[in-house]
């Protein structure tokens, strides 16, 4: 059985480009939206009617948490057992960023001991995920393949950027160089 989202609180971890778009979607269906990230600017959050809160407050107040964070040494394991338990047995977390942002062992413990309501994800520590991954068949998990970026528009951009990079390299002036 599903539940209404109107009147619920959506917590956004990472209020950048994607997080801001998800915040607007939550607001459009009547959700109260709060956000946290290590570099969150409260003024920018207020500009889109989002309340900036501390990390513990985000997990305590939210009914649903959506993660929009880049994976780095700083964000690996950013969400652990403490945060998941603050979200609680009725709380749900959505991760379409990177699996490693959530401590996977803590995630499974919380799902199994009913201290977390559920997870929706399309990211896994090993991709593509198969039936050997405990999350794929877990009764409290909505697991889909990591294909959210697979749209005609996105692939058009990817191919245009690749062609531009090849042409720039051929001309002896590489672009988007990673040192």
Q: Clarify whether 6 is annotated catalytic.
A: no
Integer Cα distance of 135 and 98 in angstroms = 14
Integer Cα distance of 19 and 7 in angstroms = 19
Q: Clarify whether 146 is annotated catalytic.
A: yes
Q: Please tell me which residue in 61, 109, 138, 146 is annotated as part of the active site.
A: 146
Q: What is the bridge-based pairing of β-strands 141-143 and 51-52?
A: unpaired
Within a 10 A sphere around the Cβ of 38, how many other Cβ atoms?
11
Name the strand (E) or helix (H) holding 33: strand 32-36
Q: Please tell me which residue in 98, 126, 138, 161 is annotated as part of the active site.
A: 98
Q: What is the bridge-based pairing of β-strands 51-52 and 32-36?
A: parallel
Q: Please tell me which residue in 82, 90, 127, 167 is annotated as part of the active site.
A: 127
Give the residue numbers annotated as catalytic, written as ranges. 98, 127, 146
């Amino acid at each position: 059985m599903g539940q209404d989202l109107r009147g619920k609180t959506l917590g956004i971890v990472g209020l950048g480009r994607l997080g801001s778009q998800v915040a607007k979607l939550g607001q459009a269906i009547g959700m109260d939206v709060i956000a946290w990230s290590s570099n969150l600017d409260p003024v920018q959050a207020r500009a889109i009617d989002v309340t900036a809160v501390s990390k513990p407050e985000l997990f305590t107040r939210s009914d649903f948490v959506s993660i929009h964070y880049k994976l780095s040494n700083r964000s690996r394991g950013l969400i652990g057992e403490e945060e998941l338990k603050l979200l609680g047995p009725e709380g749900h977390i959505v991760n379409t960023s990177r699996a490693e942002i959530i401590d996977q062992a803590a995630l499974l413990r919380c799902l199994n001991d009913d201290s977390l309501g559920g997870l929706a994800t399309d990211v896994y520590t090993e991709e593509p995920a198969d039936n050997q991954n405990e999350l794929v068949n877990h009764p409290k998990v909505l697991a889909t393949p990591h294909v959210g970026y697979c749209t005609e528009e996105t692939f058009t951009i990817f191919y245009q950027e690749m062609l531009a990079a090849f042409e720039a390299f051929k001309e002896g002036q590489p672009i988007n160089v990673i040192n």
